[in-house]
Amino acid sequence: MNSIRNRIQNTLIGMILVVGVFAAIMFLVNQLNVYQNQRIIQTMTMEYSIISMSDNLIKTYNNAGKNSGNMQFFSEYRTIKENLLNVIILLKTRIVSEESRMLLLGVEHTANMVISECDAGLKEIKAGELQNFSEHFAQAHKENEFVQSNTATLLQKELEYLSSTQEKSQQLYFITLITSSIIFLFVIFVMIIYASNFSKQLINPIENLTKSVEQVAAGKMDVLINQELINQKDEVGILSRSFEMMVINIKDMITKLNYSNIQITNSKDALEKGNTELKKLNQFMVDREIKMIELKKRISELEKSSMQQGKI
Amino acid sequence: MTTSKLEWDEKYSVGVQQIDNQHKKMFDTINRLIELLASKPTQSDVDSIVKALVEYKQFHFKTEEDYFDKFNYEHKEEHKAKHREFNSKLVSLIDLYKEDTIALAFSLVNFLEDWLIDHLMVEDQKYIECFRAHGLK
C-alpha cells in the first residue's frame, strides 16, 4: 500500500540523502586540497634538505682529508651520500610537474658531480696520495654551488607550482561550492514543488471527504462519496470506504426505524379506532338504558289510560 | 355487557294468535339484535339482522293490511297511514346512518321499540273488536 506514512518517510529520507551527499562531496574536496598542499610542502622540505646535505658532504670530505686515517669521517660521508641519493630518488617519484622534473635532473647531475669529485678525492686519500686533495675540494665546492643554485631554482619553481595549485584548488573549491549550491537549491526547489503537490494530493481528498461528512452531519443521508476517494489505496481510501459503509448502515437503520414507526402508528390507529368504537358502543348502551326507563314509564302510562278506557 | 331488553307481555296482545306471534317474533328479533350489539358485533352481522328485521316488518304490515281490506276495517286508511309514516321514518333513519351500521342498529332498535309499544298499545288495540267480530282468534 502506498500509504501516506510511507510517502512522508520516503520524502524525508530523500531529503536527508541529498543533504548528506552534498556535505560528503564538500568534505572530500576540502580534504583532497589539504592533502595536496601537505604533500607539496613535504616535497619542498625534502628539496631544501639537498642543499644542506650537499654542503655537509663536502665539509665531511674536507674533514676526512684534514684528519686522514680517521674512519669516522668516511662512514659519516657514506651516510650523507646515501641519504642524498635516496632523497633524490624519492623526489623523482614525488615531483609531479614536468618543469620541476627537468630541474631535478639538473640538481641530480650536479650532485653526482660533487659526489664523484669527493669520491675520487677520498679514494686518493685512502691510497695516501694527498697532493690532489685541495684540487678535488675546490672542484667539488664549485659543483656544490651549482647544486645550490639549481636547488634554489627548483624550490622557486615548486613554490610557483604550490601557489598555482592552491589557486587551482581554491578555484575548484569555489566551483564545487557554487555547483553544489546550485544543485542543492535546485533539489530544494524540486522538494518544495513535490511537497506542495504532495500536500495537495493529501489535503484535496480530505477536503472532499470533509464536504461529504458535513452533508451527512447536516442530515443529508443521500450523499455521494467520490469514487476516486473510494478507490484510493491509502489511509484516505480506507477512511472513505469506512465512511461509505457507515452511511449505508445508518440509512439501513433509518429505514428499519421508519418501518417500525409506521407499524407503531398503524397499531396505534387500530387501537384508537377500536377504542372509539368501544366508546361509541358504551355510549349507545348508556343512552339505551335511559331510554328504557322512559319507555317503561310510557308503557305504564299507556296501561293506565287503556285501563281507564276499559272502565269507561 | 348486558342491557335491558323489552320482553313480550300479554298486555301487548291483540287477541289474534297469528298477529301476536308475528309481534312476538319482532320482539325476539329486536332482542337478538340488542344482544348482538352488546357483544362487539361485526358490521356484516349487524347488516344481515337489520335487513331481516326490516323485511319481517314489511311482511307483518302486509298481513295486517290484508285483514283490514278483507274486513273493511273502519280506521284502515288511518292505520295504513301510520304504517307509511313508519316506513318513511325508517328510510330516513337508514339514509342518515348509512355510513355507520352499528349506529343505525342502535337507533333502529330504539325507534322500533318506541314505535312498537305505542303502536301495539294504541293503534292495534283499536282493531281488536273488528277482527274478533270477523271470527279471528
To the nearest whole angstrom, how far is the Cα of A312 from the nearest Cα of chain B? Answer: 15
To the nearest whole angstrom, how far is the Cα of A261 from the nearest Cα of chain B? Answer: 29
Cα–Cα distance between A67 and A54 in angstroms, integer? 20
Contact between A292 and B4 using a beta-carbon 8 Å cutoff = yes
Q: Which three cell numbers stand for residue A246?
A: 457507515
In the stretch 64-103 of chain B, residues with CB closer than 8 A to chain A read 102-103
pLDDT in tens, A261-312: 999 999 999 999 888 888 888 888 888 888 888 888 888 888 888 778 765 5
Instruction: Please list the ranges in chain B whose pLDDT falls under 70.
Output: 1-3
Of B90, B73, B48, nearest to B124 (Cα)? B73
To the nearest whole angstrom, how far is the Cα of B54 from the nearest Cα of chain A? Answer: 20
Q: pTM, whole model, 2 decimals?
A: 0.47
Q: Among all residues of chain A, which has the CA nearest to that of B39? A: A281
The pLDDT of residue A239 is above 80: yes
To the question of domain A4-195 being in CATH 3.30.1330.40, the answer is no
Most distant CA pair in chain B, distance: 48
- The fold for domain B15-133 equals Four Helix Bundle (Hemerythrin (Met), subunit A) (1.20.120)
Give the type of residue at A233: K
Question: Could you tell me which residues come within 8 angstroms of residue B108 by beta carbon, excluding any fewer than 6 positions away?
Answer: B33, B50, B53, B90, B93
Start-end of H helices in chain B: 17-38, 43-71, 76-96, 101-118, 125-133
Which of B11, B42, B43, B126 to substitute to test the interface with A, most A CBs within 10 Å?
A: B11
Cα–Cα distance between A305 and B16 in angstroms, integer? 22
Q: How large is the ipTM?
A: 0.79
Sequence ranges of the domains in chain B: 15-133
Cα–Cα distance between A146 and A109 in angstroms, integer? 10
Can you tell me the mean pLDDT for A46-60?
92
Q: How far is CA B114 from CA A207, A298, B75, B109, B134, in A?
A: 83, 9, 22, 9, 30
Q: What is the pLDDT of residue A2?
A: 65
